[in-house]
Structure 1
Amino acid sequence: MNRKKKMNDILKKKVKKANSKLHTSNKPKYVSKAERAKLAEEDNTQELEQE
């Protein structure tokens, strides 16, 4: 019984891993606070150059 359970667990893990790779998240990629500040600064400089 233990051998069957162990094999089933291994196979379930493989299936779960494969399914997780197929699933993509709609969540936006994380951008650090410093990176956001840098992007905001670049936007401000571009707006000033356009005016």
Structure 2
Amino acid sequence: MNRKKKVNQILKKKAKKINDKLNPKSKPRYVSKAERAKHEQEAGEE
């Protein structure tokens, strides 16, 4: 029983990963406070 369960868990995990890659998130990538300040400073220089 345990072997069957483990195999099923592995297969489900792989399927979930593939599904996540095919359906990317619509949320924008997180940009840290330091990165934002750096970008603003660069924009201010130009």
- Could you tell me which residue of structure 1 aligns to residue 19 of structure 2? 19
Q: Comparing 31-40 with 9-18, which one deviates more in the overlay? A: 9-18
TM-score by length of 1: 0.59
- Could you tell me which residue of structure 2 aligns to residue 49 of structure 1? none
Gaps of 5+ in 2: none
* Identity score, percent: 60
Say which SS state the counterpart of residue 18 (structure 1) adopts.
helix
Q: Comparing 15-24 with 4-13, which one deviates more in the overlay? A: 4-13
Residue 12 of structure 1 and its aligned partner are, at CA, apart by 2.3
Q: Does 1:32 align with 2:32?
A: yes
- Root-mean-square deviation (CA, aligned residues, Å) is 1.8
Question: Residue by residue, what CA displacement relative to the aligned partner does 1:24-46 show, whole Å, maximum 9, x if unpaired?
Answer: 01111111111111111111121
Matched residues, number: 45
